[in-house]
Structure 1
């Protein structure tokens, strides 16, 4: 408080010599305080970085590694299921009435929706506790997955083009890539552009003489 009063008086009363006096007399007094401040900031930053690294490592080992296998199984099983469903629908098409086709398609899409719900329960619900944002994104991605299955049976008044399966496979492969990318985000350390240390900025500003 006393130092602040003295400094203010000098800067106001003698502006021509204010900077020389400050650099020679006042700045040395601030030196130890700046050292302590810098150490405290670096120590706090190190602790924060260690906590982030521990959290990232836990996520990778406890959540990502076990569940990435479930992602593979989910998409593999879904593609096999849809391939067989399309083949079955086409082979039996001439024997189905329109009502029968509707029932068959409803059964297929219902089974696909059940697979999605099971995946949500086993993989995504646990993620909501600590990573709500990522869980929400995955739920939206899985809605696209369900839509892809529905689109295969858009027109059941004719046989399904065999190429529809490969279109479906292409779509869910892209959906799977988006899901894995979202799921892996908490396990990846982001390379952030380093900001200049605040104390260095203070010193640089102090050493600049006013124009």
Structure 2
């Protein structure tokens, strides 16, 4: 749900990574089938929640046979865990180009937030899925945020080394920045769209640059 990107890391094959152990697709057709299952699972879990969602509902939405599901996933829990990882990767891969293209770190954070809110508006179900993972699979929930914060911390430290931001940035700053992004995505991506992503990102970029003290 939250955004973070390591500009030096190329996108992985999410379909291959997401399968249950020993069930990774080996062909392009298999990867397409698994992608369809994950996309359908996002809609099924997003609309119905984990407990009311069903494997048959996922395969119906994906337009694949029930047996195709078990080719790649052992259980409903397994596809849910895979989906949480997949959502994290989708967000990362979506915002990464904008972050890489920015001229400096403050501009990168502005671009990343703008792209994140835009992504959320097209994938509103992701908040329900990530929030529910806290109870369905707490380790996936924790890993989602921990890995995102780690990526943010890494790029902040790199920027500090380049002299673009303050030298004492830490994990605290990374988690705070991630929290800003998460709740702005909820407010302006899921609950309402009454301000543009550009306007929101510009406001936060100004806050990061100048703080909230009187001018």
TM-score, normalisation: structure 1 = 0.32
Rg bigger for which structure?
Answer: 1
TM-score (norm 2): 0.32
